[in-house]
Structure 1
Amino acid sequence: MTSTVRGSQLARLLGHWHALPGRRRNPDYAALAGAIRGLLADGRLPLGVRLAAERELAEALKVSRTTVTAAYRELRESGHLTSRRGAGSWTTLPGGHKVASSGLWTPQDDLDMIDLGCAALAAPPELMPAAAAAAQSLHRYVSGAGYHPTGIIELREAVARGYADRGLPTSPDQIMVTSGTQHALDLVLRLMTPPGAPVLLESPTYPNALAALSARRARIATHGLDNDEGWDADLLLDGLRQTRPRLAYLIPEFQNPTGHLMPAVLRERVVAAAHAAGTDLVIDESFVDLPLDGTEVPPPVACYDRHSRVVSIGGMSKPYWGGLRIGWVRASAPLVQRLAALRVGVDMASPVLDQLVAVHLLARAATIVPARRRQLADQRDALVAAVRRELPEWGIRVPRGGVTLWAELDGPVSSALSRAAEEVGVRLAPGPRFGVDGTLERFVRLPFTLPASDLEDAVKRLAAVRYDLDHTRRPQWREHTILT
């Protein structure tokens, strides 16, 4: 069934589109079309949704219907919209474009693009030996059907040992292997969040978590993170007590995208408040293996759980490789079995060979993970130095772990900057992707997962683009090149 974006919803997503840099150098309809293209390009408007009718959107934006009509016409001409008389207009993927690794749209010929929209490292050198060893181990499983809804025992034991090493005794029966951390989150939400249920999220937060909860039609409340201090303990705990959400999704280790680390005392208080409010906690531990500069990570949130209120999710993507689609859920054994029963109707099980590769990589963790931390620390320092040199008016806080900087811009220009950056070969994830209804225009996420030379080059290009936004007119979309 095709979903529809109402006029009021689209107006909130567009935010202050009329106040963006370059707006006065373009007609109203062109500025509106460019803003909608930006929503499509950065994923805030998905493919195949029906946009509000022209009259409805015009009323929501308080502009003339002629302006919306002309904007929709421009979007149809650029391939971003398909319309049928009497039926409406749907978002489409323009010709010559594809969905990139980050989930965002990109031209087919983007080989020279510096992708700052994706916060993931390339594979470590130990991957190939681990894959070869996994292939040698596969013979133990080929005589069976290969379906293991909770995961093969070797991997569940390895993941359970990892929790025990962090001070949280865990049995393999409390672990379910999934096809990545996003898959783990999706299964947990399917089981624990009825349609329309209230949920609490941090703001900013992981965009795919927002998308998953929107798909569940959850009623989202947010706890705003301070850019310097992170969580306000009193506000967070009051939010749990007052809204009494069915579920709260938190990222306590090097929060995505801000990089904040939740202190131990707040972890304990959050668990107690969640129990009192009848709230289940979903704790995303995607970055727990990536402290930098010798930062000490507090005990897992689940250490303070006495009532099976905490469900922890994690995976291999950030410390190892995103192409290895292995994640997991840690929960009570009965809940794991309920998740496994639900999972059978979704994708049966994770690939056995991938799980064996994960087993061999985890066995090499003492070598791989410290090397990843050193690599990330060097790249982070290079990115910080480049931003401070080229864009000194931006505010940045150096994170003690994770893979991203959360930069505060010198104005509410994140979406405009993202669109303009595409023209100089840099892909960004603008701040509004990490929030609700067009907020966070003063922020942008900058991952430090690429080589230092690429990061420095990208920042130089962004500095030029930021200057041009205030001083020259830039094209709103890629123009055709005429060859003679």
Structure 2
Amino acid sequence: MNTLSARALALLVDGWRGAGSAPAYLALADRIRLLILDGRIGLGARVPAERDLSAQLGVSRTTVSAAYARLRDAGYLSSVRGSGSVARLPSGTESLPDSAAFGFVDFSKASMPALPAVAAAAQRAAEQLPAYLGGSGFDPVGIPVLRQAIADRYTARGLPTEADQIMVTLGAQHAIALIARTLLARGDHALVESPSYPHAFEALRAAGARLVPVAVSTDDGWDEQGFEQAIKRTSPSLGYLMPDFHNPTGMSMSAEFRERALELASRTGTTLIADETMAELGLDGPDGPGALRALDLPERAAGLSGSGGTGAPERSLPFAAFARAPGAASSAILVGSVGKTIWGGLRIGWIRADRSVIHRLTRARAAGDLGTPILDQLLVTDLLGDYDAILAERRTYLRIGRDRLVRLLGERIPEWTVPHVPGGLTAWVGLGAPVSSQLTLAARNHGLHIAAGPLFGPEGAFDRFLRIPFSYSEEETVRGVDALAAAWESVGRYPMPEHSYLAEVV
């Protein structure tokens, strides 16, 4: 059983008092409860003793005791005399169905509804399935036709690729976790962006990594000097980056910094995972901010791997194509999926890497799973044949959603800072005060599930920010913004509800 120290919990609840008028014990209980719901305090973890936490926070023991009692009454702590208190969820909340069934809007997931074309593609895939039924069905690398289609896509984007450089996975998250547990040893450093995708942190930590954060902001993008210092100081074995339409900020790396990052990684022996799940979701056109295309580096696109393919101007150039130094391209492993573009219910992702890395991953994969479903692979192969048209449709949908969200927030909560988002599915909104955690709890009272800003930092922080997706329907977006506006007015004055659910952030 993990034990959370008083110092660690004090860091996690930083700013818990907020600006509201709620009693101190309620404010503290609310913050600890949010940490449990968001997974920042793991289920079964032992929380600090009342005496230790009160000393660390500089409050009376009565305040902490009352907060713990509140959490026990609501079902978020379980206490045994002499053994302390452990985090839990109220009975029944672990297996709640989708929140939409209860009338909630769920903004914790940055995703789009499935394309109508998925159903027809599924029928066509089912017709092809009999040709594969004579085999075992266990497919650790991917069916040849899909691996070739993915390789062809990379080649068309400006990075010549062969099918044996591709592994098909159970989505991008599976790919990240597989790479982490294969290439990391316990205690290794892993460089990460801050803020970034929370489940990537989880995968790296599960592999035993010590995270080394590098800042990304909507004002300045990547802290390039901090990145260089971090990689030189710690020589990380692995790095996780989202260079295109970064989640949650929406920023994209410059071509120059991509080249520099690959060069530094090559020097230190660091492997960089480039999460490109949103790389082709640019919303401002081929010449807009963040658009990096094959034409931007014609010598790279024409000369990589010694073979042709200048790439299509409208397609984003893959991260590994920016390598200039000899061998630097091998420092990058690219991860993609159809979860953000076609549908999250299709658990198909992929890894693009050197053949030797693909072989290592294949040998290691059996410890976690035995392969990717054949039917889903056939379905995705079918849809990749019309992928450019699919992406064009998705970009139009997201562009409308982005502009709608900006307009609604400007009308309802004009004091918030909403940056221009050139691509992806989310806006990293500045609240002007460190109240994201309180706001998240208040929003639940108004029918909205949304992840607090600190969830996106490897060590918390970011309580001045809120990730808001613009990938939902007009009706859901209006309801979500209405809930945020109501929650914003009631921050510090709302009662703690007794039931909720453990959000999965996507």
- TM-score, length-scaled by structure 1: 0.93
- What's the counterpart of residue 79 of structure 1? 75
User: Which one of 443, 457, 460 corresponds to residue 421 of structure 1?
Assistant: 443
C-alpha offsets along residues 444-476 of structure 1, whole Å, 9 cap, x if unaligned? Answer: 000011112321232122122212226xx2102
Give the SS at the match of 1:11: helix
Q: CA deviation at 1:359?
A: 0.8
The corresponding residue for 1:25 is 22
- In the alignment, what sits opposite 2:190? 199
Instruction: Go from structure 1 to structure 2 and tell me whether the alpha carbon gap of 1:479 and 1:174 turns closer, same or farther (over 3 Å shift).
Output: closer
Other-structure match for 1:474? 494
Counterpart mapping for 1:32-431 below 5 A:
32-98=28-94, 111-295=102-286, 296-298=291-293, 299-305=317-323, 306-307=327-328, 308-431=330-453
Could you say which residue in structure 1 is the equivalent of 2:479? 457
Q: 1:54 Cα shift? A: 2.6
> For 2:95 and 2:263, how far apart are their aligned partners in 1?
42
RMSD value, Cα: 1.9
SS in 1 for 2:334: strand
Alignment partners' CA distance in 2, 1:278 and 1:45: 33
Offset at 1:348? 0.8
Q: Distance in 1 between matches of 2:166 and 2:73?
A: 50
Cα offset, 1:388, TM superposition = 1.2
How many Å apart are 1:55 and its aligned residue? 2.8
Asked whether the 8 Å contact 1:252–1:262 carries over to 2, the reply is yes
Specify the SS of the correspondent of 2:408: helix
Offset at 1:120?
0.5
Q: Contact 1:204–1:435 (CA<8 Å) still a contact in 2? A: yes
For 1:100 and 1:285, the matched residues in 2 are separated by: 31
Moved more, 434-443 or 178-187: 434-443
User: Counterparts of 1:234 and 1:437 in 2: how far apart (Å)?
Assistant: 20
CA contact (8 A) 1:189 1:213 kept: yes
Assess, with a 3 A threshold, how the Cα gap between structure 1 residues 143 and 458 changes in structure 2: closer, same or farther. Answer: same
Runs of at least 4 residues of structure 1 off by over 4 A? none
Please say which of residues 154-163 and 290-299 is displaced more in the overlay: 290-299
- Structure 1 residue 11 displacement after superposition: 1.2
Change (3 A) 1:109 1:429: closer
Residues 136, 290 of structure 1: alpha-carbon distance in 2 compared, 3 angstrom cutoff: same
Contact 1:383–1:452 (Cα < 8 Å) also in 2: no
Question: 1:360 Cα shift?
Answer: 1.0
Matched residue type, 1:337:
H
Alpha-carbon distance change, 54 to 96 in structure 1, aligned in 2, over 3 angstroms:
same
CA contact (8 A) 2:217 2:249 kept: no
Counterpart of 2:5, as a letter, is R
* Counterparts in 2 of 1:100 and 1:368: CA distance versus 1, 3 Å: farther
Return the alpha-carbon distance in structure 2 between the equivalents of residues 289 and 132 of structure 1: 27
3-state DSSP class of the match of 1:222?
Answer: strand
CA gap of 1:143–1:401, structure 2 versus 1, over 3 A, is same
Distance in 1 of aligned mates of 2:269 and 2:334:
17
Task: Give deviations 1:39-76, integer Å, cap 9, x for gaps.
Answer: 12223223222222333323332333333222222211
Moved more, 5-14 or 300-309: 300-309
Q: In 2, Cα distance between the equivalents of 1:331 and 1:132?
A: 32
CA–CA separation in structure 2 for the residues paired with 1:195 and 1:356: 37
Does the Cα contact within 8 Å between 1:316 and 1:326 map onto a contact in 2? yes
TM-score by length of 2: 0.89
The corresponding residue for 1:9 is: 8
- The Cα offsets for residues 142-185 of structure 1, whole Å up to 9 and x where unpaired, read as 11111111111111111111111110011111111110100000
Give the counterpart letter for 1:475 in structure 2.
P
Cα distance in 1 for residues equivalent to 2:22 and 2:193: 37
Identical amino acids, percent of aligned pairs: 41
Is the 1:287–1:318 contact (alpha carbons within 8 Å) kept by the matching residues of 2?
yes
SS at structure 2 position matched to 1:312: strand
* Equivalence for 1:434: 456
